[in-house]
Structure 1
Amino acid sequence: MGIAERLFGSARDRFGKQVAARVRTVDSVVCADYDPEKFQVVYRGAQSGEPAVINLETVFRESQGAPGAVRRAAIGRLVDVAALPPTPDRWDDVQSAVRPVLRPIPADPKFDIVSRPAGLYLAEMLVVDTPSAMRYAGRADLARWGVGAEEAFDTAHRNMARTVTTSLDEARRREGSTEPTRLTDNGDAYLTSLPLIQGWLETVRRIAGARPLAFPVSNNTLLLAYETADAEALAKAFEVAEREWREAARPISPAPLTVDEDGTVILYQAPKDHPAHPAVKHAQILLAMDAYGPQTEYLRGTAGSADPFPAALKGFRDPAGAEVTAASWADGDSSLLPQADLVVFPKRDEEMLMVPWSVVAEEAGLTPAEGYHPARYRVGGWPEADVMERMAKLAAQA
């Protein structure tokens, strides 16, 4: 622990205390306190009976290391939440205002925001739209409204009808262009939520005559490109998406969503022999590591001595120059493995064994542990010697 941390607390605590202090200056707030254990600010408004909560994790992570002005603006956005009027107590009064939003996965699985998986590496959350801002809905809100999460999300999707219609007009204007179409949110359209809406991507495919690639690069920008035989144009779309994702104040994904032949929304894949495969794979790895990184950090920070060790997802280039992800399975220890391209079995004084995930999953019988998104797999000691030998042979043939 450094001198500054000993004197003033950790960066997280300093951030939390700053937010709490600013919230106390809001006229409608009676009291506000920082809870370091849950990393949130709990406050009570003059018009509300129950205390409200501001979760700090996402904004802290987004603004960490940013210039002072950016950090102050981030704290200001959190303080604005406290200035909003109380969320209505009745579902009839709020249901027309709920919307779905596509977001990075919360690192804390007990995060109080209403959330559900949206594919491998993203989450769908529920918000209440107001004229001045949006407010995330929590589990306590659902309990107060007397509705379940599924009903609330179904209602939120139906409320997106007008945005869906407007966005389809953009697809009709494609006119053979190979440049990504930029859909920029004006603050209330929730454009990056469109890939979540049943049938939207399938309808865009029928209108445009090509499979759409929807890049939700940030909370206010959706790039819409199309599958094409022009590998250079496809690679360019991924390049633009990655640049905007890296530069975004609130990034979501550098990898696009699309639909399969059945109309199911999936993460876009390209065959290994496709010229644009490296660009597609690179984007997927960025997204996977962006999801697993905060989760690993959180799990390691909260794990007890008897808990399994959360293994990290790491990115590498193989001898042929292709990008891959890998997770290390240490013998004798209980671990939580992230899903990776390769599983590494480190051997003392020997060359490490690297086995494709599909082989390990089949031979070692891996199954997802409950309660983790993105998925993790609990393992202990290495499989029996005959299984290890069989995996080594299959890895050599891959």
Structure 2
Amino acid sequence: MGIADKIFGSARDRFGKEVAARVLALDTVARTEYDAEKFQVLVFRTPDDDSPAVINLDRTFQETERAPASARKAAVGRLVDAAALPPTPDTWERAQPMVRPVLRPPVHDPKIGIVSRPALRYLAEMLVLDSPSAMKYVGPDDLATWGVGAEEAFDAAHRNLARSVTHTLDAARLRAGSPAATRLDDSGDHYITSLPLVDGWLATLQRIAEARPLAFPTSNSVLLLAYETADPDEIAIRVQTAEREWTESARPICPAPITVGDDGTVTLYEPPPDHPAHAAVKHATILLAMSSYGPQTEYLRDAAGAEDPFPAALKGFRSPTGEEFTGTTWTDGIESMLPQADLVFFPKEGEQMVQIPWAVVAEEAGLTPAEGFHPARYHVGSWPAAEVMERMKARASAALV
């Protein structure tokens, strides 16, 4: 133990005491206790509170022990924000007006305990409880306490969020005929970045502006809103701006444009290959895909047992001509879970590696998504039969002509 530890206590204790002191400063907290043995802070809401809330410190301390002081301060701030939340309502009648959906990157570890479902190809929507001071993620135990299912809770959350879209539609009407780009900053009570989840919001913007909207929820507090224009360079500029903000954000969500299809479905914007903005949009979409599949691959590999299929990685590549694409490897005879990619690689020792477009492989090999994975994964083992492989190679060669 060093001199500083003898005088001021260990780094763990200093961290725990700092959290306890900052939580105690909240108006809603009567007292706190730091439990050094369990490395927890107990939060008592009233002087006679016999059921204190518990803040577990170990994970946050480990993640920030060697981080810069600013990162540690931000992490402590998030713990304090969590402590500021009011108690979770004990009935659905009380909780229902407070639930909201939020658009976020997927969470892959079920032990984290957040109610979530797929929203877009690489994004998820989660349930939170909204309060004047902060928001709290809803867990499966909360739904069980309230006696409601996830679908019913999400329906209620969407109805609640829909009531907050009026001001954005009014702003769009004022800009009708001139669909200029807009920056929407979340003040904390409008859930701006979740608006693409509201049924009909993007479609209404398209009808008002007479142009396809492009929404970029770059972080949990900023939504960049642009429109498809006759000038493709304008679209590329908007994508590059969103990508920069996403890269610099402490809580990034999506660098790629979200839009509405002709059938009214909310989807990622995908201009055709000959579109001048295609390369910029493709780059942003690849960044989003890798930011989603990367943590999923890491989690699955850490959690996999000896008999579980191998979680293959999604990798990004650039061709000699500058085109970007993603790829994944199907190794013959190895049970694997493949991510969806642009190309599937079939390596064989002593031979040139075969590269086949995903659509061809999925059709010829009959790939279907495995249950329980978002983004999607596909269970494979041995390569398809020789005649199928030859047919896939022929189709891949024809596509390159």
2:262 aligned residue: 261
Contact 2:178 2:209 in 1 (8 A): no
8 Å contact from structure 1 (residues 54, 78) kept in 2:
no
Give the match for residue 122 of structure 2. 121
Aligned to 1:271: 272
2:319 matched residue in structure 1: 318
Residue in 2 that maps onto 1:76: 77
| Cα distance in 2 for residues equivalent to 1:270 and 1:151 | 35
CA distance in 2, matches of 1:22, 1:107: 31
Structure-1 separation of matches of 2:332 and 2:316: 21
When residues 261 and 173 of structure 1 are mapped into structure 2, their CA distance, relative to the original with a 3 A threshold, is same
- After superposition, the Cα gap between the structure-2 partners of 1:364 and 1:22, relative to the gap in structure 1 and judged at 3 Å, is farther
Instruction: From the superposition, tell whether residues 268 and 64 of structure 1 become closer, same or farther in structure 2 (CA, over 3 Å).
Output: farther
CA distance in 1, matches of 2:214, 2:292: 20
Q: Is structure 2 residue 364 aligned with structure 1 residue 363?
A: yes
Aligned to 2:189: 188
**In structure 2, what is the equivalent of residue 397 of structure 1?**
398
Distance 1:136 1:313, change over 3 A: same
Once residues 248 and 362 of structure 1 are traced to their aligned partners in structure 2, the CA distance between those partners, rounded to angstroms, is 39
| Cα contact 2:172–2:208 (8 A) shared by 1 | yes
Corresponding residue for residue 144 of structure 1: 145
Q: CA deviation at 1:191?
A: 0.3
Secondary structure class of the residue paired with 2:224: strand
- Call closer, same or farther: CA 1:111–1:66 in 2, change over 3 Å: same
Partner of 1:244: 245
Q: What is the alpha-carbon distance in structure 1 between the residues aligned to residue 179 and residue 282 of structure 2?
A: 20
Shift in alpha-carbon separation, 1:341–1:89, aligned structure 2, 3 A:
same
CA distance in 1, matches of 2:187, 2:250: 16
Q: Is the 8 A contact 2:20 2:41 kept in 1?
A: no
The one-letter amino acid of 1:341's match is: D
Q: Which sections of structure 1, spanning at least 5 residues, go unmatched?
A: 1-13
Matches within 5 A, 1:337-356: 337-356=338-357
Instruction: Say if 1:202 and 1:56 are closer, same or farther in 2 by CA, change over 3 A.
Output: farther
Residue matched to 1:10 = none
Q: 1:318: how far off?
A: 2.3
Secondary structure of the residue aligned to 1:127 is strand
Q: Structure 1 residues 234, 187: CA separation in 2 closer, same or farther (over 3 Å shift)?
A: same
**Residues 352 and 264 of structure 1: is their aligned pair in 2 closer, same or farther, counting only changes over 3 Å?**
same
Rate the CA distance shift 1:60–1:282 in 2: closer, same or farther, 3 A. farther
1:207 corresponds to: 208
Q: Which amino acid aligns with 1:329?
A: W
Deviation at 1:98, TM superposition (A): 1.2
Which amino acid in structure 1 is aligned with residue 220 of structure 2?
Answer: N
Q: Which amino acid aligns with 1:391?
A: M
Name the counterpart of 1:336: 337
Provide the C-alpha distance between the structure 1 equivalents of 2:127 and 2:37, rounded to a whole number of angstroms: 24
Q: Which residue of 2 aligns with 1:290?
A: 291
Secondary structure, counterpart of 1:250 in structure 2:
coil
Alpha-carbon offset, residue 350 of structure 1: 1.4
- Are the equivalent residues in 1 in contact too, given 2:339–2:377 (CA < 8 A)? yes
- TM-score by length of structure 1 reads 0.87
Q: CA RMSD in A?
A: 3.0
| Cα offset, 1:235, TM superposition | 0.5
What does the per-residue CA deviation read over 1:271-321, in whole Å, with 9 as the maximum and x for residues that have no partner?
Answer: 111111111111111110010000011111111111111111000012432
Displacement of 1:173 in angstroms is: 3.5
Q: Distance in 1 between matches of 2:58 and 2:114?
A: 12
Whether 1:385 and 2:386 are equivalent positions in the alignment is yes
Instruction: State the alpha-carbon separation in 1 of the partners of residues 347 and 268 from structure 2.
Output: 31
Letter in 2 for 1:194: L
Assess, with a 3 A threshold, how the Cα gap between structure 1 residues 240 and 55 changes in structure 2: closer, same or farther: farther
Q: 2:164 aligns to what SS in structure 1?
A: helix
- How is 1:79-90 mapped onto 2 (pairs within 5 angstroms)? 79-90=80-91
Cα–Cα, structure 1 residues 144 and 204, in superposed 2: closer, same or farther, change >3 Å? same
DSSP-derived class of the 2:124 partner: strand
Secondary structure of the 1:258 match is strand
Summarize deviations over 1:240-293 as a string: whole Å, max 9, x none.
100111111111000111111111111111011111111111111111001000
DSSP 3-state at the match of 2:316: strand
- State the distance in 1 between where 2:285 and 2:12 align: 33
Other structure's SS at 2:112 match: coil
Deviation, structure 1 residue 381:
1.4
Instruction: In structure 2, list runs of 5 or more residues that go unmatched.
Output: 1-9
Partner SS state of residue 230, structure 2 = coil
- Secondary structure in 2 matching 1:160: helix
Higher CA-based Rg: 2
The 2-side partners of 1:116 and 1:42 are apart by 32
Q: Report if aligned partners of 1:179, 1:225 keep a CA contact under 8 Å in 2.
A: yes
What is the CA–CA distance in structure 2 between the aligned matches of 1:58 and 1:121, rounded to whole Å? Answer: 26
Aligned equivalent of 1:170: 171
CA distance in structure 2 between the aligned counterparts of 1:140 and 1:253, rounded to whole angstroms: 29
Structure 1 match to 2:5:
none
| Contact 1:245–1:254 (CA under 8 A) maintained in structure 2 | yes
Alignment partner, residue 103 of structure 2: 102
Contact 1:33/1:43, CA 8 A, preserved across alignment: no
Is the 8 Å Cα contact of residues 24 and 32 (structure 1) preserved in structure 2? no
